[in-house]
Amino acid sequence: MDQNHELPKTYSPSEFEDRIYQNWCDKGYFTPAKDSNAPKFSVVIPPPNVTGQLHMGHALDDTLQDILVRYKRMQGFDTLWVPGTDHAGIATQIKVEENLRVNEGLTRYDLGREKFLERVWDWKNKYGDRIISQLKKLGTSCDWTRERFTMDEGCSRAVREVFVNLYNKGLIYRGHRIINWCPHCLTALSDAEVEYKDMDGNFWHIRYPIKGEDGKFVEIATTRPETMFGDTAVAVNPEDEATKHLIGKTLILPLVGREIPVIADDYVEIGFGTGCVKITPAHDPNDFLVGQRHDLEQIKVMNDDATMNAYAGKYEGMDRYACRKALVADLEAEGYLIKTVPHPHNVGVCYRCGTVVEPLTSDQWFVKMKPLAAPAIEAVENGTINFVPERFSKNYFNWMNNILDWCISRQLWWGHRIPAFYCDSCGEMFVSKEDMTVCPKCGKALRQDSDVLDTWFSSALWPFSTLGWPDKTVDLEKYYPTSVLVTGYDIITFWVSRMIFSGLEHMGKEPFSTVFIHGLVRDAQGRKMSKSLGNGIDPLEIIDKYGADALRFALATGNSPGNDRRFSDEKIEAARNFANKLWNASRFVRMNLTIDEIKLPEESKLALEDKWILTKFNALVANVTAALDKFEVGVALSNIYDFTWDVFCDWYIELSKVRLGAQGTEENLVAQNVIAYILTGTLKLLHPFMPFITEEIYQALPHDCESIIISKYPELNKSECYDKANEQMERIIAAIKAIRNRRSEMNVVPSRKAKVYIATPYTDSFNSETAVFFGRLASASEVEITDKIETFEGVVSADNAVQIITDSATIFLPLADIIDTEKEMARLTAEEKKLIGEIERIEKKLANAGFVAKAPAAVVEGEKVKMAKYQENLEGVRAAIAKLK
RNA sequence: GGAGGCAUAGCUCAGUUGGUUAGAGUACUUGCUUGACAUGCAAGGGGUCGCAGAUUCGAGUUCUGCUGUCUCCACCA
């Protein structure tokens, strides 16, 4: 044992966490051995955005991953966890622009593309480093020698490769489509990047006069009157008796005077609204489709910033909402407005800035999804990829089965620039992995597409781009497909689904076999943590105050897959208290240790309690391993918690104190070895969850390995399971608890000792060796044991002593002077009643022919045994009552 | 509109294929300076497992309906 490595009196994690982490890094424990032939276990981190800092969501996600990774590493797997960060296109660009505006009053256009990008890279370097250091604070055992960034050279090459491959296969195309446009971010958004919010709006009912039919009109209801300038038709359902007569007529657009036709399209729902729908192909996704079917003109009436353009006539230059207001007023003044009806509805907003998106047509790049989705659906259907919990596959199928083409171009500067090159001179376009400057056709200069790719385009490649693809690297060969992906249910559609089809398409193999889904971390009131609410809890502050281990414990405990968790002061305090308990128990063990090496003594030397704790420990190992293999992280941890606190500390340590105090004896050495063996074993089981404290204690005890990180994870050892000893010990514990219980009920202070008389058939449990426990744990001054209760006749009985009946013994405490006969009688009567109740219940059960015939024999037998026990106890209780009378 | 989750002690949550008297943390009550730990020890009170049915010898657990609540997807002009 390293006598110099002491455990200070107080548990203060800040004293050692950083030091330990640094040591792990220095020793290179997180980097897998090059020549390992062990089975592989690989994980890629969901790359945090370089925009911000570590939040509770990351802390949970990365804690769960680290638990799995450390567990597998200790089990001897060739384990790799690849870390990295995401450039987070739109989010980061917005941050930097905001920063620029606030600090320098500049826009990105003032700086120009190149200079602006320099600023973003500065930002990335600063915040990317910060988030990495925060991950380290948490204790994540990532292989930092393999750290990646979505825009680093290799990942960028992967992006180009994929883009060109998909383009050549006809799976990427450029098209004039209606897309979601954010007028604030000035970029297209994919469907997934639009969120919907309930807003109060109006239905404005407007007259559209019918040409040539004086005074006649069609009533149109709209929530967005300002798009009127782009109307190129009004549609009615051809089956609608109320409106079909209008088909083919011509209407006159109010205020504008332009003529538009009435067309027939079954998109119009009969009975909804007025039955007539204005069709604005350039500003509404459904109208766009109608327009395509009827070959209608697309008239865009807004600029990119959502101000009105020349088509809006006198409203040109006004913001869309200002225009709406003015337009409605004018329509009313001119008599075109029939009525205004309040209409709450869902409005799409940009997921980054919250601005209401404007659907509009533009030239964008798309990924054709149907052919990619088919194998991705199949892989989950046939079990190549499993969701844990399984129900999230429904989520996935729902999205994949209804998928539309993916708009991947963004009108941003920060991101992977689209590798398309245009010749303005001959009009040709080239898509190329390499940069092109000169047109191969006409020799003129080429211009690269100014747009960048959706940030998820590169994230989709993360499981293989980080391992070196498109090169055929050793890492790729070894670690792809990865073992498990750990992420929150909120990005299944954004990210998980796209990684799956990308992996299948470009690698020909699924990117991971298991998707382990966790929930959100909410605040103590159950609200989502968000900046706007200001209810976010900073993981770093928690670490400073309570330690990373406590944070990890609080996040992992009670965690059940896929469910949200609340985070509260109570939980983190409970976690810290547990760490403190472990710390102090370890200090106790250490101060009683004189051995340099732990060696489990042979069976014949073991005391009853040693066999008992070994049996319990092995059961724990089995349970924890089974739970972790099923991703039941919370279950595994609560098992360790219960064992550590209730079994090891509250019982085994107490039971061992006598022998640990008897220095120089053989039994002392046995006790030392067993207690150290159990403690180090427990530390190993706990290490994946609480890496720092377990390492710190491990180092201070005799240890078999230079670091607990690479020590061998405990395995179930059947030869260490002693069922009989376990049973024997449980009887003692039950008896001690029963005595404590009675003493406490009678308000007997622990300092008042009393002789304990035990009558029991189980003399293998109750004997001179175990009698000592009653002295320490049950305030016994002396213990007398007999297997014949008559021995106590005339010495103790219900009238001069407290009588306690357990399943295995009748115990007397001669506390005659403080016995309240009345109270004692009441207690005994209550107990009698309770036993009678139980017996009746079982009698009824056993009298049920169906139960006896159909229930498993073991269950029936169990009931019979219970019954016999109760009857025996009842007899004892009745005898006591009789004596009291 | 479609899909899913949750509903168990005052609060926060476990409860793995149906099988003891339904558990933990926290809060509460009582007692304790027990030579590791008051961030602790010991004892205790507290639950009609949302409601109504069904299946079964047996339901917190399976099925159906309902109520409340949260989330995801789609989005109606």
pLDDT tens figures, A298-329:
888 999 898 999 988 889 999 999 999 999 99
Given a cut of 60, is residue A1 above it in pLDDT? Answer: no
Averaged over A360-366, what is the pLDDT?
A: 89
In tens, the pLDDT along A665-686 reads 999 999 999 999 999 999 999 9
Closest CA to B5 C1' — which residue?
A: A563
A576 nearest nucleotide via C1' and CA: B39
Q: Which of residues 405-464 of A touch strand B (CB under 7 A)?
A: none
Q: What is the distance in angstroms measured between the alpha-carbon CA of A857 and the sugar C1' of B29?
A: 43
Q: What is the distance in angstroms measured between the alpha-carbon CA of A740 and the sugar C1' of B46?
A: 21
User: For the ranges A24-33, A70-79, A382-391, A454-463, which has the lowest average pLDDT?
Assistant: A382-391
- Cα-to-chain-centroid distance, residue A776: 45
Averaged over A587-597, what is the pLDDT?
A: 93
Q: What is the distance in angstroms measured between the alpha-carbon CA of A634 and the sugar C1' of B63?
A: 29
Least Cα distance to A138 among A669, A495, A542, A414 occurs for: A542
As a whole-number percent, the residues of chain A with pLDDT over 90 amount to 48
Residue A155 pLDDT: 95
Of residues A197 and A509, more confidence is placed in A509
User: For the ranges A139-153, A157-171, A436-450, A676-690, which has the lowest average pLDDT?
Assistant: A436-450
Q: At a CB cut-off of 8 Å and minimum separation 6, what does A67 contact?
A: A552, A556, A628, A633, A688, A689
User: For the ranges A64-68, A95-99, A118-122, which has the lowest average pLDDT?
Assistant: A95-99
A277 Cβ contacts chain B strand, under 7 Å: yes
The 8-class DSSP code of residue A527 comes to P
Nucleotides of B under 7 A from a protein CB: 2-6, 12-16, 19-21, 24-26, 30-34, 36-37, 39-44, 56-58, 71-77
Q: How far apart are CA A86 and CA A458, in angstroms?
A: 9
As a whole-number percent, the residues of chain A with pLDDT over 70 amount to 99
A390 Cβ contacts chain B strand, under 7 Å: no
Q: How far apart are CA A171 and CA A370, in angstroms?
A: 9
Q: How far apart are CA A830 and CA A836, in angstroms?
A: 10
In tens, the pLDDT along A419-452 reads 999 998 888 999 999 999 999 988 889 999 999 9
A634 Cβ contacts chain B strand, under 7 Å: yes
In tens, the pLDDT along A638-658 reads 999 999 999 999 999 999 999
Q: What is the distance in angstroms measured between the alpha-carbon CA of A635 and the sugar C1' of B49?
A: 20
A859 Cβ contacts chain B strand, under 7 Å: yes
A837: tokens are 């109740």
* Three-state DSSP state, A670: helix
Averaged over A137-141, what is the pLDDT?
A: 95
A661 nearest nucleotide via C1' and CA: B35
A726 Cβ contacts chain B strand, under 7 Å: no
Q: How far apart are CA A194 and CA A196, in angstroms?
A: 7
Residue A241 pLDDT: 84
A791 Cβ contacts chain B strand, under 7 Å: no
In tens, the pLDDT along A682-702 reads 999 999 999 999 999 999 999
**Residue keyed to tokens 């199928």:** A397
Q: Which of residues 543-602 of A touch strand B (CB under 7 A)?
A: 558, 560, 563-566, 568, 570-571, 573-574, 576-577, 579-581, 584-585, 587-588, 591
A394 Cβ contacts chain B strand, under 7 Å: yes
A23 Cβ contacts chain B strand, under 7 Å: no
Residue A2 pLDDT: 60
Q: How far apart are CA A207 and CA A210, in angstroms?
A: 9
In tens, the pLDDT along A743-798 reads 988 888 888 888 999 999 999 999 988 999 999 899 898 999 999 988 888 888 77
In tens, the pLDDT along A686-745 reads 999 999 999 999 999 999 899 999 999 999 998 999 989 999 999 999 999 999 998 988
Predicted confidence band at A25 (pLDDT cuts at 50, 70, 90)?
very high
Alpha helices (H) along A350-412: 370-381, 392-401
Least Cα distance to A709 among A727, A694, A730 occurs for: A694
A717 Cβ contacts chain B strand, under 7 Å: no
What is the pLDDT of chain A when averaged over all its residues? 89
A750 nearest nucleotide via C1' and CA: B32
Q: What is the distance in angstroms measured between the alpha-carbon CA of A561 and the sugar C1' of B8?
A: 19
Given a cut of 70, is residue A826 above it in pLDDT? Answer: yes
Residue A218 pLDDT: 86
The answer to whether A884 touches A825, Cβ cutoff 8 Å, is yes
A591 nearest nucleotide via C1' and CA: B36
A345 Cβ contacts chain B strand, under 7 Å: yes
The answer to whether A224 touches A327, Cβ cutoff 8 Å, is no
Residue A3 pLDDT: 61
Given a cut of 90, is residue A607 above it in pLDDT? Answer: yes
Q: What is the distance in angstroms measured between the alpha-carbon CA of A558 and the sugar C1' of B24?
A: 9
Residue A65 pLDDT: 95
A736 nearest nucleotide via C1' and CA: B42
Residue A729 pLDDT: 93
Q: How far apart are CA A283 and CA A281, in angstroms?
A: 6
Phi first, then psi, for residue A262 (nearest 5°) are: -95, 125
Closest CA to B24 C1' — which residue?
A: A638
The answer to whether A367 touches A170, Cβ cutoff 8 Å, is no
Given a cut of 80, is residue A5 above it in pLDDT? Answer: no
Q: What is the distance in angstroms measured between the alpha-carbon CA of A394 and the sugar C1' of B64?
A: 22
A848 nearest nucleotide via C1' and CA: B57
Predicted confidence band at A553 (pLDDT cuts at 50, 70, 90)?
very high
A410: tokens are 């963004």
Averaged over A456-464, what is the pLDDT?
A: 95
Q: How far apart are CA A723 and CA A353, in angstroms?
A: 63
Residue A722 pLDDT: 92
